[in-house]
Structures are given as C-alpha cells and as structure tokens.
Structure 1
Amino acid sequence: MRVEPIYHVDGDLVPASEATVSVDDRGFRYGDAAFETMRVYGGTVFEWDAHLERLERTCESLSLDHGLGAADLRDRIDETLTANDLEDAYVRLSITRGVQPGKLTPQPDVDPTVVIYAKPLPRGGVDGEPVWDGPATVRTVETRRIPSESIPAAAKTHNYLNGILARAELRDTDGQPSADEALMFDTEGAVAEGATSNLWFVRDGDLYTPTTDGPVLPGITRAIVFELAADADIAVHEGRYDLEGRYDLEAVLEADEAFLTNRTWELRPIETLDGHEIGGGPVTDRLSRAYDERVERACYRG
C-alpha cells in the first residue's frame, strides 16, 4: 500500500492531497517567491549553511522580509523528513510573499507562505548510486538566459519561465524530450549554463566553467567543485564576462571531458552535446569520487 507523502504548509504537517496554497498567493500569481532544493543524506541536510545563505540573498533581492529564523526553517525541514520517514531525500523549501492586497506592487508587511516537501532519493556518498540513468545528452537551444540586469541570476525564485522555455525546445515531434538538458547562451552568444545546471568542461587537464559575472546561477554544487579541484591541484578557469574571455560553443565541443552540476544530479557527465560525443574522463571521475567522499564524511560518518 502506497503511503501518501506529508507536506509542511505554514507550520502544519498535512497529507499531500490536503496541502493547499491560496490562489491569491503572490507565489502562484507572479512567481514572487524564493526557494531552495536540497539533498539529505543519512538524515543530514548537506551544506545547509550554504543553502540558507543563498536563500537569504534571494529574499534580499526580492525585498522579501519574511521574518523566519534559520532554526525555525531547519526544524520544519526535520519535521517533514521525520513525518515521511526519510533519511535520503530531495527537499524543496519555498517561501512566498503570501497573500497581499492590491496587484503587482509588493507591500512591505509580509505574512509568508512556507511550503516544504520531501521525496526519496538513493543513498549518496561512496556507497551511493546516482539518481540519473546515465550520462546526460545535451542540446543547445535558442532561448537565451535573461541578463542579470533584468532578473538577477543569483536569485533562486519561482519564476522559472526562462528554463521552462528552454526545456520546451527539447521536445521532439511526439512531444517527448530529445535530450536530458538544454544548454543556454547569454544574449551575446556565449555559453552560460543549463536550464537547471551549471556547465563544466576539461581541456588538457584544466577545468573550465562560465563565470557567475554573467547570467549564471552560483550553484552550491558548483562551489563545492571549486573546492574539490583546489584540493586536487586541478587548475580552474572561469570564463570572464567580456568579449575576449567568454566561452563559445566550440570551446565545449572541443573539450576532452564535460559534465553538469546541480544539487540533485551532483556531477553528471555529458555524453553528447548536439550529437557530438564528449563524455567524462579522469578529471570528472576524480572530482566525482571526491564529492562522494565529502558527502560520506559530512553525512554518514559523523
């Protein structure tokens, strides 16, 4: 018998079938909300402090003063995990501006809507298994990343239309995805990131990734890869956001290895880009192993 998931909605644990948000909520109406997706390994929220810091930055970008403390949010996450009897899971935390009078203009007084849900994912660490079936197939798309001057790329908000449009381009004539991820460019034609992932590639043993000075989300897994590369004495280059230093498609297609990072996939090799075979390799494998060891130390051996 399938057990119904339990959601955490505005301080209460409720069955998923009874979890509701007002149709007047600004998160529903306008995408006026911040969120974080997290991995939980062995009952431990991995890199919680980093997620909390990014959530605070997003809320600051939105001028969303929700008034909730870190301990309160963490307690709600832990309650959700316990209610669902989960130790290895995906967790999403959303904070909206709630219901307010008027229309588009946000009001300073906020009664936030807070929703948390968790879904089971396989064990991580050195004895874990990936959540993906195999290396990613990737296609470039026409949809461009929105410049940070329009919508700050560092803000992780409910407004995901940019990524949705990119993923929609992947549909084949039967309406099914023709690739696992969409690779997006900025408005100047430089490589930016995937619809929900950061891009990395390897050339001559060095690691390359587009800079967050452009329209690229500063992913938490991305930040960990920087640390792991430094520990392994692997040189890392960030494409500068200027005409001379940004990466074009050819730079990726000519790479020896390439992979994507996000919180759910961790490190996922790119099998093909626009049909061109790339694959993983020794650098990708070394970093993936180091990532698993970090998860193991932080969450399973503590």
Structure 2
Amino acid sequence: MRTVYVNGDYVPENEATISVFDRGFLFADAVYEVTSVLDGKLIDFPGHMARLSRSLGELDMAAPVSDDELLDIHRRLLSENDLVEGMIYLQVTRGAADRDFLFPEADTRPNLVLFTQEKSLIDSPLAERGQKVRSVDDLRWRRSDIKTTQLLYASWAKSRAHAGGADDVWLVRDGHVTEGSSNNAYIVTADGTIVTRHLSPEILSGITRQAVLQCARELQIKVEERPFTLDEVRGAREAFSTSASSFVSPVIEMDGMAIGDGEPGPVARRLREIYIEKSRAAAI
C-alpha cells in the first residue's frame, strides 16, 4: 500500500481524507503537476515547479508550501514508496469552503496532495509500436495554458477514441491541431522540419516540450512553432507527441490513415533516446 501526502501528513492511501467541501472536488478549482521519476530521481523538477507557480498565480491561488519544501516532500515519497520508475502527482486546490461560485476569503487554506504511481517509462510498448490517434473538436475552455484539473472533456474524448480502437486524440480548433488529450503534438515535414503549435492560451506549455525542442535544436533540426492542419498531419513524414509520462511517443496513424510509412519515425526515436539520456544525467 502506498504512502501519500495530505497537508503535512504522510499516511497510508486508504487513510487519506479531504473535505467534501474542497473546491477541487466541487469546482475543479485546482491545479496539478506530474513529475517523472527515473532511477529514483526527479526529472525536470525545476520546470514543473516554475509552471506550478505560474498556474497558481493565474488563478490567484496561494502556494501552500515553498519549492524547497515540495522537493523534500517528493523525495520522502520516493523513499517511503521505494519508487524507482514512474511519476509523482501533485495537486493544489483552493481549499475547503461552503459551496459558492465566488472564490472564498483569501485566508482559506489551500489543500496539498501528492502520491506516487509506478509506471514503466523507458520500456514503453506504445512508444515502440507507435500511437494511433483520432481528431476531435477542441471544446475545452480557452485557458489550456493553466494546468488545472478540468480534464473531463479530454478524458471523455480519449476514452471514446480508445473504445474505437485508437490510443489517443489530437484536438482541433479552427482547422488546426492544438494538442493531444494530455500531451503536445508534432509533425515532421517532408524536408525534416519539426512543426509544433506555438505557445499561447490554447495549449499547455509542456515541460517535456521545452526540453525536447532544445534537443532538436542541438541536433540542428529545424523547428517551426506554428499551427498545422490535419492535411499537414496526413502528409507528414512522421509525427509524435511529448509529455512527462510518455517522453517522446511516435504517432503512426491519424483517423485511420497511416502517417509516413506507418511506423515510428527516426526523428521521434532519436529525440526519445536523447531526451532520456539528458534527463537521467540532470535528474535530482
């Protein structure tokens, strides 16, 4: 049984409790981060903390503890749960208050919860065979740059796609791909250029995205940050997605049509290798 963290206490998961009046439960008034773990160490931790701070600031939500304290909590959970490979999930809610659409008083205490998840990140069957994705309308709220727990639409869309034999969805707004259900989306054009949507309120600023694009530039691969269409996806040499939980994951099919030769492409494979190598070297 896992040990989890709830507001200063480390408790068995079956003893963890949060108020029924918590605004994360009632309104999805909460933000979160997921930090990957390799070799018992944290990947891209400073980036995740910087994005957490931004998400909290955008929602006028107080930080419950400092970044140094969060690092200590992460490391203790690693130790308590003997986690070697997987993820640590962190969630901050605005706190518990009587149900009202108005934000509660500023002195309402935020709730902080963390827990671990074991997962094989390096040996990924999905990364090995490549993902099949479906395109769906992007009907989320327009502040996708804030990493909130409002994930129902993405969960619903991915579940529908999975029931139809696909692995994930790519969301489409105004004829252009925004991102995946829980990842950033990329294509590789005929001339070898990597194209991914530019940062804006319509997509999440992925921590893995930032690191992978830096890897691409170090490999002297041209990168364009701009919207791209479904026709561009279908005509691409290859495609892939990035996230903290899947690193770089090839995409081999869109809406039943093969992308490129229908196999994981060399650019995605190479970026995955380099990202893992660099992440292991920089882990804390």
TM interval, short-chain normalised? over 0.9
Measure how far apart 1:163 and its partner are: 1.1
Shift of 1:287: 1.1
User: Are positions 1:116 and 2:114 aligned together?
Assistant: yes
Unaligned runs of 5+ in 2: none
Q: Given that residues 145 and 215 in structure 1 are in contact (C-alpha distance below 8 angstroms), is that contact kept between their aligned partners in structure 2?
A: no
Question: C-alpha offsets along residues 156-194 of structure 1, whole Å, 9 cap, x if unaligned?
Answer: 0111123123224325xxxx35211111112x2211111
Which of the numbers 36, 39, 42 marks the counterpart of 1:39? Answer: 36
| Greater alpha carbon shift after TM alignment, 227-236 vs 37-46 | 37-46
Instruction: Supply the AA of the counterpart residue of 1:296.
Output: R
1:266 to 236, 243, 247: 247
Unaligned runs of at least 5 residues, structure 1: 240-245
Give the distance between the partners of 1:260 and 1:66, measured in 2 at CA.
30
1:59/1:65 contact within 8 Å kept: yes
Matches within 5 A, 1:62-81: 62-81=59-78
Q: Could you tell me how far 1:283 is from its partner in structure 2?
A: 1.5
1:289 to 2:284 alignment? no
Q: Distance in 1 between matches of 2:281 and 2:62?
A: 35
Q: CA deviation digits over 1:126-161, x for unaligned, max 9?
A: xx42263731110112343433xxxx2211011112
- Contact 1:131-1:264 within 8 A present in 2 as well: no
Q: Does residue 197 of the first structure (1) align with residue 178 of the second (2)? A: no
| CA distance, structure 2, for counterparts of residue 131 and residue 31 of structure 1 | 32
Indicate conservation of the 8 Å contact 2:144/2:202, yes or no: yes
Query: Normalising by the residue count of structure 2, what TM-score does the alignment of the two structures yield?
Result: 0.92
User: 1:131, 1:265 within 8 Å by CA — same for their partners in 2?
Assistant: no
User: Among 166, 169, 173, which residue is 2:160 paired with?
Assistant: 169
1:213 Cα deviation after fit: 2.5
Q: When you count helix as a share of all residues, which structure comes out higher?
A: 2
CA RMSD of aligned residues (A): 1.8
Indicate the residue corresponding to 1:61 in structure 2: 58
SS in 1 for 2:11: strand
- Counterpart code for 2:268: T
Q: Indicate conservation of the 8 Å contact 1:64/1:97, yes or no.
A: yes
Tell me the amino acid that sits aligned with residue 141 of structure 1: V
For residue 211 of structure 1, what is the aligned residue in structure 2? 198
Q: Is the 8 A contact 1:145 1:192 kept in 2?
A: no
**How many Å separate the matches in 2 of 1:178 and 1:226?**
30
Q: Deviations over 1:9-61 (max 9, x none)?
A: 11111111111211100010000111001101122211111000000000001
8 Å contact 1:66–1:110 — kept in the other structure?
no
* Aligned equivalent of 2:129: 134
Cα deviation 1:220-278 (Å, max 9, x = unaligned): 11111110011000000011xxxxxx311001110001001111110110121111112
Q: What is the match of residue 242 of structure 1?
A: none
CA–CA distance in structure 2, aligned partners of residues 146 and 134 of structure 1? 32
